[in-house]
Structure 1
Amino acid sequence: MRTLATALLTALAAAPALALAAPPPLDMETIMADPDWIGQAVEEPYWSVDGSQVYYSLKRDGSPVRDLYRVPAAGGAAVKLDPAAAATADGTKQVFDREHRHAAFVRHGDIFLRDLGSGTTVQVTRSATAETSPHLSADGRLLTWRAGNDWFAYNTVGGPAWQAAVVEAKDDPKKDKTSDLQDQQQALFTTLRGIKSDEKAMKADADALAAADPGRAPEAFYLGKDVAIVDTSLSPDGRYLLVVTKAKDADDGKVADLTHYVTDSGYAEPEATRPYVGRNDPAPQSLTLLDLRAHATYALDTATLPGIHEDPLAEIRAKTVAALRKAGKDDRADKLAAPKTRPVIVNAEYSPGIVWSGDGHEVAVQLRAVDNKDRWIATVDFDRHALATQHRLTDKAWINWDNNDFGWLNDGRTLWYLSEETGYSHLYTRALGGKATALTSGRFEVDHPVLSADGKTFYVRTNQVAPYSYDVYRLASSGGALTRVTTYQGMDDFALSPNGRQLAVLHSAPYVPSQLATVSADGGTPRELTNTVKPGFADHAWIAPKIVEVPSAHGAGTIYAKFYGPADAAQAASRPAVIFVHGAGYLQNVHLSYPSYFREQMFHNLLVQRGYVVLDMDYRASKGYGRDWRTAIYRNMGHPELDDLLDGKAWLVKNQGVDPKRVGMYGGSYGGFMTLMSLLRAPGEFAAGAALRPVTDWTSYNHDYTANILNDPQLDPDAYATSSPINYADKLQDPLLIEHGLIDDNVLASDSIRLYQRFIELHKQNFWMSLYPMERHGFVHPDSWHDEYRRIDELFKDKLGQ
């Protein structure tokens, strides 16, 4: 029996020959309407505690509200849970003890504990504060969780919950802080000395009573008034607490504002957004180990990390400093001095920053240099109260945002982690103090590793078959071959069942939003549990995108792309073409899953109906192709990508007979940036371009993304000058449409407005701008989507002659 996605893909592949001779006409109103007409994607699936059911969410038609559904894992009708049923459903973030005698989970922000033998469920917390991160000790006797940065514990045999640690970012009030005047007063007056003595006696008695009474709240730890707590992590046995701090007065830099012009109040209203890149680097972070049993505090020194005293930016720094001193700007040059010890932060934004072994006897911390050139995984030596580096990943460009997962094997003494050290993300293990073992290797990517409860098997997502094809594979945690579990080619996510025997899989296809299935952990025929695609969308004769390989004339190898054209390839000859440029830079859009650019995909169908062909390329910097592809743009954004887009145009001319004078381009965000770079750096190559919410000057963008690729603007001004479209504004000669949401808090509208002013001052022609007062970076209102794409459609019709 074929899977839903396979059947639909087969049908789509046949569709051009069977149905596209006279397809039902598309129109802008339909494809840019509220996407509820397509059908909702299945979201956030998770297993019931006993593994018999799968829960998932669906957006409600006409509303942003998500409803919770439950469906038997073996197949059957799904049930939408009403509020009463949802209030008794199994929750998320499920954890189990090693013998699977107990389970804990989060439901509506509270912690619940279930005895898996009796089925009894106990609500452990009931508070207005959202509790998260439940954890059961290996023996199942201790349940811990967090609320904000505070940690709590509960004995599973019963009794009151207690706060595991009290940590305060203030000075210790017990420490005597006396002045010369106070000392003189104590020396002069016996009454004052007596009062002081009584106070000390009362405090000593209270401390003795508290120390002898396990029912009292724990004694507080005071970290000092000059720090702010960033994160905390409690060991599963409740013995230790790791605390991440930064300087309390750390300044992120001046924050840019935007203005809401259409408001309920009728007045224009400002909104603070974010600082610009390099205005202030991320605040360095420090690690403190608290021994809760001994009530002792230990600072963990990151200055012992290998390479921490090196300056990977020394060559760039020397060049910039020399230029500043030559220009008489010694004050600026002085500020660029290399730090003796590079500052670090805990790398917790895209991966778990701190991971404890199951027994709580070991902990690993992932640290990243603020300059983005190094990532370390270090463990804590509890006897020496020091960090011990287990793995260092260094990159002359920048460490990837993704593929930094790590954790422990069940022995609690062996780490597993992902690393790009060979040029592709692969899975490794390393016993503490030992050598690393590569579990996977090859010219493909591995992500989302999940270790089975028995610790014997990893399940991972890979694109081993082809860069655009993703499925679940399994392999032994001791090493061995990858074995394919699913064959969807468009596998989006998965969750392992509590007993480790099944996977809940989210899969999709080019015109099928994510659907839910279950499959044996050993592979085999999946059970399809959902089909949420509405007939009006499913019945349309959509064009199956053809994945093509565009040869690079610039030494990059193969550039993968999706081609949209008529059923009869000969009809493509002499047609105009449009190149679509995806956003985000580090994003993969050439794949067999449902695209995040689903509206654009429908627009591509409309363009083919209008008489165009369309090419959608994974230019250099795109995700899924390894480290070298990702970092090809280091200090040089917009240049390798333009080479690739020009190669795409050449491929269209050579292989599809496209008229080279009638090739247009459009894209949003990074795609808007690349549209600008294409028109401004290669004038005459493209007949017209539409740049949606584009970055025009990288010095105005955020720090986290930009500093990775271009370093800080003060340190590396050449990289910013080379990479910013506004510096090429004088080259504009081809028709350009700019479109931007006025309340975009990602790429600020000021980016487009500043470029527009530059064109005005240069006396340029054939440029237009459309602003959308109610839209942020990702448009959400159908009227805006319609207007945006109507203008793009009209631009191409007018300038490409179709």
Structure 2
Amino acid sequence: MNITYRWLVIYVLFLSFPLVVFSQNTTTLKIEEIMQGQSWVGHSPSNLRWSDDSKTLYFDWNPENLPGDSLYYTDLGELTPQKVPPTSRRSLPSFSGKINKKGDLKIYEKDGDLFLLEIPTGNIKQLTHSIQRESNPDFLNDNSRIVFQIGGNLHTWDLKNGQIRQLTNFRKGYAGKKDKPMLSKSDQWLKQDQLNHFEVLKLRKEKREAREKIREQHKPRRPKAIYHGNKSVSALQLSPDEKFVTFRLTETLKGAKSTVVPNYVTEGGYTEDIKARSKVGGNHTTYKMGILDLERDSCYYLNVEDIPGIYDIPAYLRTNKKKVSTSAKMREAVALGPLWSENGRQAVIVVRALDNKDRWIMSLDVRTGEPRLLDRQQDDAWIGGPGIGSWNFSMGKVGWMPDNESIWYVSEESGYAHLCVVNTKSGKKKTVTKGKFEIYNPQISRDKKYFYFGSNEAHPGERHYYKVSVNGGKPIKLTQLAGRNDVFLSPDEKTMAILHSYTNQPWELYLAENKADNQPKRITHSQAESFKTYSWRDPEIVTFKASDGAKVNARLYRPSQPQPDGPAVIFVHGAGYLQNAHKWWSSYYREFMFHNYLADHGYTVLDIDYRGSAGYGRDWRTGIYRYMGGKDLEDQVDGARFLTEKYNVSPQRIGIYGGSYGGFITLMAMFTKPGTFKAGAALRSVTDWAHYNHPYTANILNTPELDSMAYIKSSPIYYAEGLQDALLICHGMVDTNVHFQDVVRLAQRLIELGKENWEFAVYPVENHGFVEPSSWIDEYKRIFQLFERNLK
């Protein structure tokens, strides 16, 4: 063998061994350590809340790594965190509740009783001490009385003389059925025959009825009984003039069926069934807003029949070519509110179609139950976005302007979530913020001169805090630190408490003056020593062009010495309405650390904000409508191509993994894009959208009985025969979100198809979000071994 040939053989043999490249970190990461969670990283402060006098900030924190968080506080004068002793904690007033207009009294509920706080002195007076729960207290206009709720009915309490008055009398069942026994027709005939035969019986009956009538006339006035059958009553609210009560009736129709999740590993040794959600399309619930006129002692209901567009047929159901078509059937809707103006003269409500394709903001005449349109937001996909809401019964961000004639709200009419104002009398509208960015959690200032809000104006992956004149103009940036800044204003609005984090730095607490040129002061130091021993990467935010021309943002992790034709992994974050290609500490912090671990072992990692991710406006949010696994999956495929073209990654050595929606995308990738990804790990994955919940799924895919093709196109179980490459499936057995049944059904499908290149790991005590470090460790060891076997 000549020397040249010998060196060639050695070179080929060298290439045949797995190539492992470590970063320049002196500390070697271990899966057993990074999957310990916050005990290894450090516990960040959370749940910030101010004292009512704006002098003290309270927050949950656990710097001592105890089994649970403790309550801490910092005074503005000292800025040093101190733990609140248990005795002091029990005596603290509730951080929720209502403050009177003068600002010197606060009424709140704590442990089912009512308390009154004198804010200037800190004195607390307990108003009730009972077994029954008093809740939802608020001040009435004169501040000398409060309104509150007991057992589903409203009451008032006069703070001067202690008099309690019941305002409503809602009762289950039906009028008359509990008061008198129902007689059969034959018994009714016998009774009348007796009265016809015997004069004494007739006279006694007349006298008894006369006595009862006199007795009723002398009884003190009681609220009229309102029977609501088997419906439930909620959202009780007294109007500022105390003349009307609004409420919501909810009825779950017969046939609605819940699912059951078996729990096999229990303390008692028996399998226990957990009652869980219904499946999409099985949510047979109707809603009605009622109005009780206390003066006229009458009850009537909101008239929704004349709401513009309530009869519109959704675009996906139209068979004709008309832009809008209507039917004789009215769409179901729910009314939220009302929200009263500060002077108590006007009310607005938000009405949402239950198919979530329309959101109407309307003024309400409580005297008649007639609403009047102020703004209609319509979307052929679904209404959503920051400050607008879509999956719960929230009015979204809505409030009154200082003139008591205009309201502010958030709308995606421009394509991005922005502040708008409409005059309730003239109907004139204007926008307060505008641009290709979104705003978050707006609130109007105490003096009604400014709006405060968070915004990603600087970059889709960065959040700062701003204020802008209520009349519009250029927003003023109030935060300085790069990354994300979640601000909690003190009640007097002089101080900002800021939860701040950066890509590779967990959340910490800062305090700063409420002005543009402030200098934030750090209050907490939360990182554990174990976390600080490693030099964590600051992944680059990169942008690539998708096959349809869209620009897609992603996080990129690189080895310190990337090798030619090296391996790569694409991570797919979960959905709900999330993003992960951002510049702050991720809720996927274990995955962040795992990606550093992968980069240390020679992998390039790409973490994509695919179609459907938050932060990029309406069109990006609804890009998955009627086809999950369409554009969102193509973004992963285009990301893989981007890695091969720009970062010298081998197209034969790319893997993919993710949890929940990320697990779903992984399955769709492995089943419908064979060869693109040589290995995939699908964690807690949806396999068939017809088995997921209603609020999330019906927005995106409508319902299976009305839009079956959307479900077939979007569900991995229909494409399982396409599996060619190595697949790992991991799932918790007590997952009450994506049920274990999902992957059991898929496993049976793969078995029947004769597939062999897949494995299945189950976690008997885990829900959707894993809790036990042992489960995290086992899962991520399996993921790493999958990539090592197939990508190296």
- Indicate whether the TM-score tops 0.5: yes
* 1:130/1:209 CA distance change after superposition, 3 Å: closer
In the TM superposition, what are the counterparts of 1:142-157 in structure 2 within 5 Å? 142-146=145-149, 149-157=152-160
Q: CA deviation at 1:495?
A: 2.4
* 2:236 aligned residue: 232
Q: CA deviation at 1:183?
A: 5.5
Q: CA deviation at 1:231?
A: 3.1
C-alpha contact 2:660 2:685 (8 A) present in aligned 1: yes
Q: CA deviation at 1:138?
A: 5.0
* 2:451 aligned residue: 458
**Paired amino acid for 1:561:** A
1:298 to 297, 300, 304: 300
**Paired amino acid for 1:493:** D
The whole-number CA distance in structure 1 between the counterparts of 2:776 and 2:300 is 55
In the TM superposition, what are the counterparts of 1:145-544 in structure 2 within 5 Å? 145-146=148-149, 149-157=152-160, 159-173=162-176, 181=189, 190-191=200-201, 194-195=204-205, 197-198=207-208, 201-202=211-212, 204-206=214-216, 208-211=218-221, 218-247=222-251, 250-251=253-254, 253-278=256-281, 280-313=282-315, 315=317, 340-346=329-335, 353-400=337-384, 402-404=386-388, 405-433=397-425, 434-491=427-484, 493-523=486-516, 524-544=518-538
TM-score, with normalisation over the residues of structure 2?
A: 0.89
The whole-number CA distance in structure 2 between the counterparts of 1:25 and 1:200 is 93
* 1:38 aligned residue: 41
Deviations 1:126-176 (A, max 9, x none): 345555544334553333344564334333445245444332233334999
C-alpha contact 1:60 1:67 (8 A) present in aligned 2: no
**Paired amino acid for 1:198:** R
The whole-number CA distance in structure 2 between the counterparts of 1:139 and 1:314 is 52
Q: CA deviation at 1:545?
A: 1.6
* Secondary structure of residue in 2 paired with 1:680: helix
* 1:645 aligned residue: 636
Q: CA deviation at 1:313?
A: 4.4
Q: CA deviation at 1:187?
A: 5.4
Identify which range, 593-602 or 447-456, moves more after superposition.
447-456
* 1:45/1:314 CA distance change after superposition, 3 Å: closer
C-alpha contact 2:42 2:65 (8 A) present in aligned 1: no
**Paired amino acid for 2:758:** F
Identify which range, 176-185 or 80-89, moves more after superposition.
176-185
The whole-number CA distance in structure 2 between the counterparts of 1:371 and 1:636 is 17
Q: Looking at CA atoms only, which structure, 1 or 2, has the larger radius of gyration?
A: 2
* 2:127 aligned residue: 124
C-alpha contact 1:312 1:396 (8 A) present in aligned 2: yes
The whole-number CA distance in structure 1 between the counterparts of 2:135 and 2:487 is 21
Q: CA deviation at 1:501?
A: 2.0
Identity of aligned residues (%): 36
Deviations 1:629-660 (A, max 9, x none): 01111111111011111111122112211111
* 1:63/1:236 CA distance change after superposition, 3 Å: farther
Identify which range, 40-49 or 630-639, moves more after superposition.
40-49
Query: Structure 2: which 5+ residue stretches go unaligned?
Result: 1-21, 389-396
* 1:137/1:286 CA distance change after superposition, 3 Å: same
* 1:662/1:393 CA distance change after superposition, 3 Å: same
Deviations 1:475-499 (A, max 9, x none): 1223222111112343353322222
Q: CA deviation at 1:509?
A: 2.0
* 1:593 aligned residue: 584
The whole-number CA distance in structure 1 between the counterparts of 2:708 and 2:63 is 48
C-alpha contact 2:93 2:117 (8 A) present in aligned 1: no
The whole-number CA distance in structure 1 between the counterparts of 2:135 and 2:385 is 24
* 1:549 aligned residue: 543
* 1:585/1:187 CA distance change after superposition, 3 Å: same
**Paired amino acid for 1:356:** W
- State the superposition RMSD in angstroms: 2.7
- The answer to whether residue 710 in structure 2 is matched with residue 719 in structure 1 is yes
* 1:616/1:148 CA distance change after superposition, 3 Å: farther
Q: CA deviation at 1:203?
A: 5.8
The whole-number CA distance in structure 2 between the counterparts of 1:587 and 1:241 is 38
C-alpha contact 1:565 1:572 (8 A) present in aligned 2: no
* Secondary structure of residue in 1 paired with 2:312: coil
* 1:629 aligned residue: 620
**Paired amino acid for 1:485:** L
2:603 to 579, 598, 612: 612
C-alpha contact 1:578 1:615 (8 A) present in aligned 2: yes
The whole-number CA distance in structure 2 between the counterparts of 1:340 and 1:507 is 50
* Secondary structure of residue in 2 paired with 1:68: strand
Deviations 1:354-384 (A, max 9, x none): 4233343333222211112111122221333
* 1:407/1:191 CA distance change after superposition, 3 Å: farther
C-alpha contact 2:55 2:75 (8 A) present in aligned 1: yes
2:650 to 633, 654, 659: 659
The whole-number CA distance in structure 2 between the counterparts of 1:661 and 1:52 is 60
C-alpha contact 1:151 1:163 (8 A) present in aligned 2: yes
* Secondary structure of residue in 1 paired with 2:543: strand
* 1:731/1:478 CA distance change after superposition, 3 Å: same
Identify which range, 589-598 or 172-181, moves more after superposition.
172-181
Report how many residues are paired.
Answer: 750
C-alpha contact 1:255 1:275 (8 A) present in aligned 2: yes
Query: Structure 1: which 5+ residue stretches go unaligned?
Result: 1-18, 212-217, 320-336, 348-352
Q: CA deviation at 1:230?
A: 4.0
- The answer to whether residue 694 in structure 2 is matched with residue 703 in structure 1 is yes
* 1:738 aligned residue: 729
* Secondary structure of residue in 2 paired with 1:29: helix
* Secondary structure of residue in 2 paired with 1:87: helix
The whole-number CA distance in structure 1 between the counterparts of 2:82 and 2:520 is 20
Identify which range, 51-60 or 706-715, moves more after superposition.
51-60
The whole-number CA distance in structure 2 between the counterparts of 1:289 and 1:361 is 16
C-alpha contact 1:572 1:656 (8 A) present in aligned 2: no
Q: CA deviation at 1:245?
A: 0.7
The whole-number CA distance in structure 1 between the counterparts of 2:107 and 2:372 is 32
**Paired amino acid for 2:208:** D
- The answer to whether residue 762 in structure 2 is matched with residue 777 in structure 1 is no
Deviations 1:89-108 (A, max 9, x none): 23212432223232334444
* 1:796/1:165 CA distance change after superposition, 3 Å: same
Q: CA deviation at 1:590?
A: 1.6
* Secondary structure of residue in 1 paired with 2:770: coil
* 2:738 aligned residue: 747
* Secondary structure of residue in 2 paired with 1:472: strand
Deviations 1:771-795 (A, max 9, x none): 1110111110111100000100100
* Secondary structure of residue in 2 paired with 1:666: strand
Q: CA deviation at 1:764?
A: 1.4
Q: CA deviation at 1:423?
A: 0.9
* 2:6 aligned residue: none
* 1:757 aligned residue: 748
C-alpha contact 1:171 1:225 (8 A) present in aligned 2: yes
* 1:546/1:127 CA distance change after superposition, 3 Å: farther
The whole-number CA distance in structure 2 between the counterparts of 1:789 and 1:192 is 86
* Secondary structure of residue in 2 paired with 1:662: strand
C-alpha contact 1:688 1:736 (8 A) present in aligned 2: yes
